[in-house]
Amino acid sequence: MRRLATGRVVILGAGIGGLSAALALAPRPVLVVSPQVLGEGASSAWAQGGIAAAMGPSDSAADHARDTVGAGAGLVDAAVAAAVAGEAPQRIRDLTLLGAPFDRDPAGGYVLSREAAHSRPRVVRIGGDRAGAGIMRALIAAIRATPSVQVLEGVAACGLHLRHGRVAGAELMRIGADGAAASRPVCVTAPAILLAGGGAGGLFAVTTNPPGIAGQAVGLAARAGALIADAEFVQFHPTALDLGRDPAPLATEALRGAGAVLRDASGAPIMAGLHPDADLAPRDVVARAVFAAARAGRRPVLDATQAPGAAILQEFPEVSRACLAAGIDPARQPMPVAAAAHYHIGGVQSDARGRSSLPGLWVCGEAACTGLHGANRLASNGLLEALVFARRAAADMATCLPSAAPSPEVVLPPLRPLPPPDAALVLRLRQAMTAGAGVIRDAAGLSRCLAEIAEIEAAARACPVLVNMTATATLIAAAALLRRESRGAHFRSDFPRPAGGAGCRSRLTLQAALEIRAAARHSSAMVAVTQR
């Protein structure tokens, strides 16, 4: 494999976490690797709700942390929650200074909305439901104006390079169109690597994530030996718009905060009697209710015709645009919704400084698992976590590395593009994950899912993108099989209650997950034989 050496810190991923870290590292030279043009492929740009922060006069960081712990079903690291909630207002002020156009009231205060499991309004928004796009525009403008930051667009990491047990570089390839021939990747060695590559929603048949966000980041770290924490916890958003689109457009939780109600086809409120907070119950509770209604043929909808009513067209323009394009007037007609894979709570285990278990590899954003979210992420804490840990990782790298010195830009040799994974295999993987590791799980379904993942991986012909995807899928399903209880976003119909107490977090290596997969595959094969 051809190698290039750089003195730049290499950041894999160009969402809010990756770009924030690059700015925080300035004037240290940085190389940001982005699979798409900046702003086009990151989940951050699709985020609607906003960023949770105690900005209101009656709110406090302690209350924000308390809500975070409460939503996390016993697995939140309380110290992490307190620290992140404490930093949240300053991160909002930082973004404001960068030019993020947060919604403001006539007095200049931040407009705050309430989302599920928050005790009060504390979500800072942009344009109603355009927070992610607005923040990304401000960050991209700052990145373009920062001489120390080089951006490689249309390039993705397909693996990590280890030397003497330390992550010493990343294997890079270009992203190409269907049918493009692949060449061997180029290994760029660097003093430090920050993994900020996104989540795993695309591993499921219905998702709100951008195309290409399908577990690749966690998978490449896992294949290098990184410890993966809480992989079983996948948060399903209860109100993806069921319009036949892939990915599914999101109907932000702020709509329910503004009075929209989940109903079934008969008009009956879906959440009536299921939780004291009704439509603003924790996401896992609402997602299961929506999923159950759909499975029973009750056709769940989100009814905004009474509240916010006609105001939805101005206050929630992205939701309105998606509905109108499908021939639905959300001010007059209920919106069909479905539970969709939205956020991977688990990921590469990270400490308070953003360090992974592998020396030389830091991690932030959705690819990381910091302990903030526990078993069920509190709404709008995702972007906040990315911002906080991006800065922490940048600060820690700065202390671990020699003094910054000028470094020439990285010039990759001509590369043939990386072909996409076989579409039929990807569809098969997404269907297997939805059937076996979706909203409601059980041992038999998870075992079948693991067996199917093994067959898909064997057919992948060493396609690095698909092998990274199957690695993450294996970790999710194996960890879910091991957790013989229901807790937060993880629900087992064969173990429908928590095991008791606060619970414990899970930690797996890929090797351990592969051993679980092999056993499950053998078990599924035996069952198939006995049923013949």
- pLDDT tens for each residue of 467-518: 999 999 999 999 999 999 999 999 999 999 999 888 899 999 999 999 999 9
Q: What is the pLDDT of residues 310-347, one digit of tens each?
A: 999 999 999 999 999 999 999 999 999 999 999 999 99
Q: Is 87 helix (H, G, I), strand (E, B) or coil?
A: helix
How far lies 470's CA from each of 148, 437, 464, in Å? 36, 13, 10
For residue 2, what pLDDT is reported? 87
In this model, does residue 442 exceed pLDDT 50?
yes
- Of the listed ranges 35-49, 78-92, 458-472, 481-495, the one predicted with least confidence: 35-49
In this model, does residue 531 exceed pLDDT 70?
no
Tokens of 19: 């770009």
Confidence category of residue 525, pLDDT binned at 50, 70, 90: low
For residue 111, what pLDDT is reported? 95
Q: What is the pLDDT of residues 239-282, one digit of tens each?
A: 999 999 999 999 998 899 999 999 999 999 999 999 999 999 88
For residue 178, what pLDDT is reported? 42
For residue 212, what pLDDT is reported? 87
For residue 532, what pLDDT is reported? 47
For residue 439, what pLDDT is reported? 97
Cis before 308? omega within 30: yes
Q: Are 183 and 416 in contact (CB under 8 A)?
A: yes
In this model, does residue 46 exceed pLDDT 90?
no
- DSSP summary character for residue 386: H
For residue 414, what pLDDT is reported? 80
Tokens of 355: 């360090």
d(CA 273, CA 215): 36
Mean pLDDT calculated for residue range 108-121: 92
Length of the chain (residues) = 532
Q: Are 342 and 208 in contact (CB under 8 A)?
A: yes
Confidence category of residue 45, pLDDT binned at 50, 70, 90: confident
Active site residues: 283
Mean pLDDT calculated for residue range 27-38: 95
416 or 154: whose pLDDT is higher? 154
In this model, does residue 416 exceed pLDDT 90?
no
Place of tokens 């990184």: 226
For residue 128, what pLDDT is reported? 80
Q: What is the pLDDT of residues 173-221, one digit of tens each?
A: 987 654 344 457 899 999 999 999 899 999 999 999 998 899 999 999 9
pLDDT averaged over the chain?
93
Residue 147 half-sphere exposure, CB side, CA atoms within 13 Å? 4
Q: Are 252 and 303 in contact (CB under 8 A)?
A: no
416: left (phi over 0), alpha (psi -120 to 50) or beta: beta
For residue 176, what pLDDT is reported? 61
- Of the listed ranges 92-106, 114-128, 168-182, 184-198, the one predicted with least confidence: 168-182
How far lies 276's CA from each of 71, 286, 376, in Å? 14, 12, 18
- DSSP summary character for residue 492: B
Closest CA to 139 of 87, 97, 78, 183: 97
- State the Cα angle at 456 between 455 and 460, rounded to 5°: 120
d(CA 125, CA 107): 16
Tokens of 178: 């269907």
**3-state DSSP: the chain helix, strand, coil percent, rounded to 5?**
40, 20, 45
Centre a 10 Å sphere on the Cβ of residue 316 and count the other Cβ atoms it contains: 27
How far lies 472's CA from each of 41, 233, 377, 442, in Å? 19, 12, 19, 19
How far lies 3's CA from each of 87, 406, 410, in Å? 40, 20, 11
d(CA 338, CA 343): 15
Please, what is the end-to-end C-alpha distance for the chain in angstroms? 48
Confidence category of residue 528, pLDDT binned at 50, 70, 90: low
Which residue segments constitute the domains of the chain, with CATH numbers given? 239-341 (3.90.700.10), 418-531 (1.20.58.100)
d(CA 34, CA 39): 9
Q: What is the pLDDT of residues 219-245, one digit of tens each?
A: 999 999 999 999 999 999 999 999 999
In this model, does residue 149 exceed pLDDT 50?
yes
Mean pLDDT calculated for residue range 411-434: 90
- Of the listed ranges 126-135, 156-165, 349-358, 464-473, the one predicted with least confidence: 126-135
In one-letter notation, the amino acid at residue 90 is Q
Percent of the chain with pLDDT over 90: 84
